[in-house]
Amino acid sequence: MNNNSYALIMAGGIGSRFWPVSRTTFPKQFLDVLGTGKSLIQNTFERFKKILPVENIYILTNENYFDLVKSQLPELGDNQIIGEPIMRNTAPCIAYGCYKIKQLDPNAQIVVAPSDHLILETENFVNTINKALEASAKHHCLITLGIKPSRPDTGYGYIQYAENTIEDNLHKVKTFTEKPSLEIAQTFLASGDFLWNSGIFVWSVNAIIEAFDKHLADISDIFRGGKNHYNAPSEREFIQSAFQRCTNISIDYGIMEKADNVFVMPSEFGWSDLGTWASVYELAEKDYVGNAVINQEGVMMYNSSNCMVNVPKDKLVILQDLHDYIVVESNNTLMICPRDKEQHVKQVVADVKQKFGNKYI
C-alpha cells in the first residue's frame, strides 16, 4: 500500500431521487439499498481498504451526519470525518479535503469518490484505481474514470475523449455533456468515443490545488487561509466561516470542464451510480415477467410485469394489472409512478417539501 495515497469519500448528499426510502435524516449512502447486509458507504469503505491504509481514508459529509458515519465506520478517527457546516456542492468540499490532506502530506495523491455507487467487480476497481494513482504521480494532470456505456442512458453525464493518449488507456478529454436527451445519448453511443462520467477522480494534491488557483481562485483563497487551522482544534471554527463565503458550484463545472490537463481512463468494473429507482431495478433480481421485488414476503402480484417494488416487510401489498411501475413505501409515504417517469422524483420531493415542510422529507 502507498502511504502517500489518500481517499476522499463524498457522503454529504441527501439522496432525494431515492425518496421516500432516503430521507434527510438518513440518506441513501447509509442504507442497504440492494440487501447486501452492508450500507453503500460501508461497501465503499471496504473497497478502499484494499487500496489504502485505513488512516488515509477520509469521509466528506454534512456535519449532521457525523454520528451516522461514526456508527457505520467505527474504524475511522474523528479527524477522518470531515464535516461540512452547510451544503455548497462538490467544489468547496473537495477543496477543503484536499487542503486538509496537503497540510498532512504535501506530496499526496488523492482519489475522490462518491459513497453511494455500486461496484460489482472489486478486483478490477482496485487495479484501475492503483493504475490511475500511478499515472497521477507521473503526470501533472487531473484524471477522471469513464465507464464504457452499455445503453443510451439519459441519467448520466458523458465524456468525449480523444484517440491520443499520454500512456496506455489514458486519453485527453474533449468534452463533457450533462444528462443528454435520448436522441443525443444514442448518437454518443454510436460514435464510440463517449464514456459515462463516473464522478471518480484521481490527482495529485498539487495538481488539483493549482487547478483551483486557476479556475476557482475565490474558493482556493478561502481554504488556503486555513493553513494554520487544519488538523488542529481551531479547524471547525475556521470551516464554519469558510463555507459561508463559498459559492455553490460543482467540481465538474468549476474545474473539470475548464482545465486543459484533464484525462479520462476508460474503465470497466461493474459500475452503477444507483442514482434512481430505475438503476436499482436494472440490477435487482427479477422474476420471469420482469418484476423486481426487494422485500418479497408480503407482496402478491397478479398479471403484473416489469415493476420495481420496495415495501416494508410487514406490509401486505397486492398489485393487479400493473405494468412498468415503481411502487415504494417507507416512512409513512407511498409512491407509485411509471418507471419511465422516475426522473421526476426530485421535483416531487421539492413539491412535497413546499406543501408539507420537512414532515415527509
Q: How far apart are CA 292 and CA 209, in angstroms?
A: 45
pLDDT at residue 280 above 90?
A: no
pLDDT at residue 313 above 70?
A: yes
Tell me how crowded residue 331 is: count the other CB atoms within 10 A of its CB: 15
Whether this prediction's pTM lies above 0.85 is answered by yes
Q: What's 286's DSSP letter?
A: -
Q: Is 133 exposed, middle or buried (0-12, 13-18, 19+ CB in 10 A)?
A: buried
Q: What is the pLDDT of residue 1?
A: 60
Tell me how crowded residue 97 is: count the other CB atoms within 10 A of its CB: 25
Residue closest to 57 by CA, chosen among 39, 27, 29, 77: 77
Q: Which residue has the cell 427479477?
A: 286
Q: Which residue has the cell 436494472?
A: 282
C-alpha cell at 19: 425518496
Q: What is the pLDDT of residue 351?
A: 94
pLDDT digits (tens, 9 = 90+) for 97-152: 999 999 999 999 999 999 999 999 999 999 999 999 999 999 999 999 999 888 88
pLDDT digits (tens, 9 = 90+) for 29-72: 999 887 778 999 999 999 999 999 999 999 999 999 999 999 99
**Residues 83 and 96 sit within 8 Å (Cβ to Cβ):** no
C-alpha cell at 273: 451510480
Q: Which residues contact 324 (CB under 8 A, 6 or more apart)?
A: 305, 306, 307, 338, 339, 340
pLDDT digits (tens, 9 = 90+) for 141-199: 999 999 988 888 888 889 999 887 888 789 999 999 888 888 998 988 888 889 999 99
Beta bridge partners of 145: 265
pLDDT digits (tens, 9 = 90+) for 189-228: 888 889 999 999 999 999 999 999 999 999 999 999 999 9
Where do the domains of the chain lie, and which CATH numbers do they carry?
5-272 (3.90.550.10), 285-356 (no CATH)
Q: Which residues contact 64 (CB under 8 A, 6 or more apart)?
A: none
Q: What is the pLDDT of residue 144?
A: 96
Q: How far apart are CA 295 and CA 304, in angstroms?
A: 17
pLDDT at residue 13 above 90?
A: no
**Residues 361 and 300 sit within 8 Å (Cβ to Cβ):** no
Distances from the Cα of 225 to the Cα of 8, 56, 186, 326, angstroms? 21, 23, 46, 48
Q: What's 148's DSSP letter?
A: P
Instruction: Tell me the percentage of the chain whose pLDDT exceeds 90.
Output: 70
